[in-house]
Structure 1
Amino acid sequence: MRETNKVFHLAIPCKDLDETVEFYEKLGCRLARRYDDRVTFDFFGDQVVCHLSPDNIDENPKMYPRHYGITFLEKKEYDTALEAATAKELPFFKEPMVRFKGKQEEHMTFFLVDPANNLLEFKYYHDASMAY
């Protein structure tokens, strides 16, 4: 089980700091720090650092095997995130869908793509025991 004194950290490339800040703030993430070569966000309680690295951008991203995101344990939070992404016209990589329909691991999901083509998945399992 996760303890409250731990924060997951993820570092990813970005191609432009200003557009990166705009995207993640629209997503609801708080800008924690900004330097000439990177920005750090509070990403739903965890830390995402976007390093300025325009030569390391995946020009043709695919959902698998590389993406990251949030698994909501409350459907209302998933719905709120989806509504916010739609209202703020954030770019969808994959529209909302249901995966593994009819199985225990059935879940609702959607993917966004940030300005550096990093893919973000947001999902909600109907059976919370399937979150791990």
Structure 2
Amino acid sequence: MREQNKVFHLAIPCKELDETVDFYEQLGCELARRYDDRVTFNFFGDQVVCHLNPESIDAKPQMYPRHFGITFTDKKEFDQLLMMAEKNKLPFFQEIMTRFKGKQEEHITFFLIDPANNLLEFKYYHDQTMLY
């Protein structure tokens, strides 16, 4: 398990800072810092830095293999985020679905797409032993 003193860091491209801030704040992420060339967020307890780099935007993103997100251990929190995304009309890349139905690793998941075509996955495993 991760200790409290460790924070995962992810850097991704963005094409425009204002729309990036708007998207991630509507997702419930707190803006930590803003510079002329990047914004940093508290992304559910981890650090996501969006670097202004419009020429690096993936024009045709695909779910696999490149995406990132959160695996919830509390179904209520998963449901709350899903409702917030729907309420704020955040763009879904993939609506909620069940993967590996009937198997031990069965989970529910949905994907959002940010303004720079970065794909974000949010999921919840019914069997918590399958988190890793």
TM-score, scaled relative to structure 2: 1.00
Q: Give how far 1:95 is off.
A: 0.3
Is 1:34 the counterpart of 2:31? The answer is no
Structure 2 CA distance for aligned equivalents of residues 107 and 23 of structure 1: 25
Number of aligned pairs?
Answer: 132
Q: Deviations over 1:48-79 (max 9, x none)?
A: 00000000000000000000000000100110
Q: Give how far 1:85 is off.
A: 0.2
Aligned partner letter, 2:89: E
Spell out the pairing of 1:1-132 with structure 2 (5 A cutoff). Answer: 1-132=1-132
Seq. identity, % = 76
Aligned partner letter, 2:115: P
Q: Deviations over 1:7-65 (max 9, x none)?
A: 00000000000000000000000000000000000000000000000000000000000
Q: Secondary structure at the match of 1:78?
A: helix
Q: Secondary structure at the match of 1:42?
A: strand
TM-score, scaled relative to structure 1: 1.00
The answer for unaligned runs of 5 or more in structure 1 is none
Q: How much is the aligned-residue C-alpha RMSD, in angstroms?
A: 0.3
The answer for unaligned runs of 5 or more in structure 2 is none
Q: Secondary structure at the match of 2:93?
A: strand
Structure 2 CA distance for aligned equivalents of residues 131 and 48 of structure 1: 21
